[in-house]
Amino acid sequence: MTASTEITMVEAIHQKYDDDVETCIHIHIPASAPGKTESGNLVIPPILALHDSNISGAGDTDRLETLCKQVQELDLTKNCIKDWSQIIEIIERLPKLRFLNLTSNPIENRLSWECDKQFPNISNLILNDTNVSWECLMKLLHVFPRVEELHLSLNGYSSVDLHDDFRYPPLSRLYLNGNKIQDWTEMCRLGQCFPHLENLVAMESDLTSIMSDVDLKETFPCLKSLNLTKTKLATWEDIEVFREFPVLVDLRIKDLPFIQTLPEKERRQNIVARLPNITKLNGSPVHEQEREEAERAYIRNFLDAESKPQRFYELKKIHGKVEHLADIDLSPDLHYHIKVKYEDKEEMMDILKDQKVKDLKKLLQNFCGLPSNRIKIFEFYELEEIHGKLKHLVDVDLSPDLYYHMKVKYEDKEEMMDILKDQTVRDLKKLLQNFCGLPSNKIKIFEYKPDYNQLDQLRSNIRSLHSYRWTEMDEIHIYPTETYVSPNLSVHICEVHAKE
């Protein structure tokens, strides 16, 4: 038998599960063989996958019924079945079948086949890449009266040609990926024909807009989840239409070309701010804090705009007055901007902080015309100017203080440490591993300042230690979480225990 020879489903089962048989003849096999009953018959699992097996029909239907009486899921992807009558013949012999996958079978759309039975057990029907027509689909759904999940992807649809009076209430999940539908009114026909539709997935389609005169409250009264990722939606007005779905809460709209140039955070904020009904966006929950930040950012975006959208006024009622964020330069100040005087000369200079007095003297040689070893530098304070008092400047290192000098304690150990300010909380955890014997991923850090008598957790691993502004009075204490920590401790690093 060549690889391209068409065979029956019974033959395919024997080829897959019975190494000793090359035909569909029923032969007794010793009970010790794998996949057999005590009588030697084949045992077929409840999930039967016969991908790419060149199956063109059922074969010996009595034998098929004997083999597959326990089969609940049947996957016939990439076979050679052309006739719906052959498919019906297979289904008739599988009394427990509830899941049927016919993807990539060259099934002809002839309507001449007849079936006087219905198969209410089948709840999942996959017809991807079969080019099944809408007319044929309506006939099939009469035969399968309780399909809850239907897959119609890659069928080349450019329209939805269901009859106006066709209604199929059982369907709740519909997949239409990779089709060519451009007009949203065509998609709305799906909502009318499947009135209890809760989940619609139409990724990678040619859909260009979802704006129409259709009343979405009537068209999609039950739709909770919608996926239009990699479609051709082109405006923010299209995004705002998602508010009109009466129960929509879960939305996926990744890879839309018109917002791809925005940074990821800004993209998400713009969508969240416009859609108060969405609680899950692109697979991630929208938390209350994220929504508030997004809505306030949206208000700021339109503060100076001459024409403001309606959503701006809605959010202003919620959040009140929102000011522009201050444009703050958080980079460290590396220079003193200070007046320098010598005799009757004076000049405003930027003097680098990261240098010593002797370096400053060298810098000032040209200004005052004296060699550095003959220069004395005095600092003059406004407060002391009243008294006419000058102080001689000692030779001090003016470089910025790069470290916190703090006491660190763990159980009966304590040590004064220089902790670099220019690092994150995550870096500090790694630094303290050797000292306390805890891995960094089991460490939590709490900040306690004696002046405030308050214990606070350092929650962000990426926050810079610069921002904490600790003093030498503050300490770092390290404790396992089960140990009682008295309120007068400063910074606590506690071991994290996995939940039972």
Last residue of a domain, one of 97, 115, 147: 147
- Domain-embedded: residue 476: yes
231-263 in b/e form (b: 16+ CB < 10 A) is bebeeeebbbbbeebeebbbbbbbebeebeeee
Which residues is 475 bridged to in the sheet? 407
Q: What string of pLDDT tens digits covers the 500 residues of the chain?
A: 445 799 999 999 999 887 654 443 443 433 333 355 544 567 788 999 999 999 999 999 999 999 999 999 999 999 999 999 999 999 999 999 999 999 999 999 888 888 989 999 999 999 999 999 999 999 999 999 999 999 999 999 999 999 999 999 999 999 999 999 999 999 999 999 999 999 999 999 999 999 888 899 999 999 999 999 999 999 999 999 999 999 999 999 999 999 998 999 999 999 999 999 999 999 999 999 999 999 999 999 888 888 989 998 999 998 888 777 665 555 667 778 888 888 888 888 888 888 888 888 888 888 888 888 888 888 765 544 434 444 444 444 444 567 778 877 777 778 888 888 888 888 888 888 888 888 887 777 777 666 666 666 777 777 778 777 777 777 777 666 555 444 444 444 444 444 43
Q: Are residues 70 and 123 in the same domain?
A: yes
- State the amino acid at position 446 in one-letter form: F
CA-nearest of 98, 88, 22, 99 to 61 is 88
CA–CA separation, 141 vs 150, rounded Å? 10
Q: Any residues with CB less than 8 A from the CB of 25 and at least 6 apart, and which? A: none
Q: Are residues 446 and 489 in the same domain?
A: yes
Q: Are residues 363 and 485 in the same domain?
A: no
Q: Is 472 left (phi over 0), alpha (psi -120 to 50) or beta?
A: alpha
Backbone angles phi, psi at 341, to 5 degrees: -125, 145
- Domain-embedded: residue 292: no
Q: Are residues 123 and 23 in the same domain?
A: yes
CA–CA separation, 455 vs 458, rounded Å? 10
Structural domain that includes position 427 = 403-495
Q: Are residues 138 and 3 in the same domain?
A: yes
Q: Which two tokens stand for residue 414?
A: 């304590």
Q: Are residues 350 and 383 in the same domain?
A: yes
Q: Are residues 384 and 352 in the same domain?
A: yes
CATH number at residue 426: 3.10.20.90
Considering its fold, how many domains does the chain have in total? 3
Which residues is 419 bridged to in the sheet? 404
Q: Are residues 363 and 449 in the same domain?
A: no
Rounded to two decimals, what is the model's pTM? 0.63
Q: Any residues with CB less than 8 A from the CB of 359 and at least 6 apart, and which? A: none
